Structure 1
């Protein structure tokens, strides 16, 4: 499938809810009243779009169409337009869609360091593998640092991916200091003249302050080898967690100075609206979205394409 078709398939559950809601609530020829708008707002909130975003969309519908005979196409156009504006935010998502690496920062010289964080089970390791694959397919040499030393399975999983992808990895025994893994990873990336170093971190809960402090320690250790590191701090969120993802984003952002999000498992949720809530309330751009389980199922987040897929037939 092409990019648009994969995105459309990935958003199917969320799309089905919105299309059903629009079809059920907005009847051609009927008068658009407050009862219908309030019901629609409630349904938007149930896609985890958030109260603020849902209220903005409904306010615009009330201004443009309230008290008038329903024109279904015009209503859809208004909803699409507001979603695009919400997702674009300050314009920082205007990437070159022909260049799959355009959302990522690039160091002026030496290795570009990407720090990846996220709680257990969100698809962090798989997302790292997908990003590594994307980088290598575009001619870059990648080194991985297996910093999730609290879980032996996490190190093994990342090692397996490194072998499949053919990239170097720095790893230590379970329980080793994650910062030391990051330091050795940075050293190896410099020695090998690598283009990118991707540092995995423990899948921690945002309530565990000691582990959040460790993220900050990793950043400081990296800077001893590569002064500007990390150039990118990505937070992986599981789209199926909905609004809880917003809490994760706020906590992790404070610890790692989060520069962007990777929204995983978008293909398995009816809560794709959380993308809107995070973009509006956090001001952090969604850089990539996972729309399937395959190694190539990672796409640049394009607000226009996202909205078009959400409302496509």
Structure 2
């Protein structure tokens, strides 16, 4: 049995979309049903918020330099290709915009939102670089938006036609979600739009772009944007580990020490044991390397067991701990 619950389309200040969905028992899947949200959402229990752009509060707004090619408006109502960061819209711009008494962010005082009067040319109106992402990991990018034009106020209204595109800095497209038309409404309605993507096995930042495909000149094509988020949906995979199969500490300047490499490790602890289980080396940093001695004396030729414990950053705030074991041949 499939039970369809109310779709996620709610008035301003209601952040309920993510709490509703449908469960498909035969597939064992929870699906989010939300107007404008076409991507499978992150599991709420495991998702970690990496970016949460609320656009600040009145008097403390962020700089959008490098994030938009639009110009900041110097008048109460931005013209085409302009934006502003405000905590309300109490003047009915152009005689067609909704009145907005507050932004979307729940429980913030004088919170601001991004108001966009779209350009007459289709293209990106907001972008953000996302650095420090784990390779082979799934993320979700989302944004809340409102079509500012009230239903029936434009004879031939231009409706924002949004696309979320995630790409590498070299231009490789990782995910593209054509959200479609941000339809007009009689009252202001915040809707959530999202895209999920999996990072490639490469050490390069990715770029998220909000693109308006609507590029005509006329009445409409205006929107409010708020609460841009990046969520990590899955656990970062273990970092690649390189441990030589053998080394020869004979002072010939080649492989004299056991050099261990763990990509992206923020901590590394190395333990080496002989065949009787005696701990012959105890290193607590990546810079500490075993020279094949124990208590100042050379160890005999043979196999030695190694154990690594290391941490890898999932985000600027969290790490995962891993343990690896193996053996290495000491040759003299």
Q: TM-score, normalised by structure 2?
A: 0.23
The structure with the largest alpha-carbon Rg is 2
More helix per residue: 1 or 2? 1
More strand per residue: 1 or 2? 2
Q: TM-score, normalised by structure 1?
A: 0.24
With a CA cutoff of 8 Å and minimum separation of 6, indicate the structure with the bigger relative contact order: 1
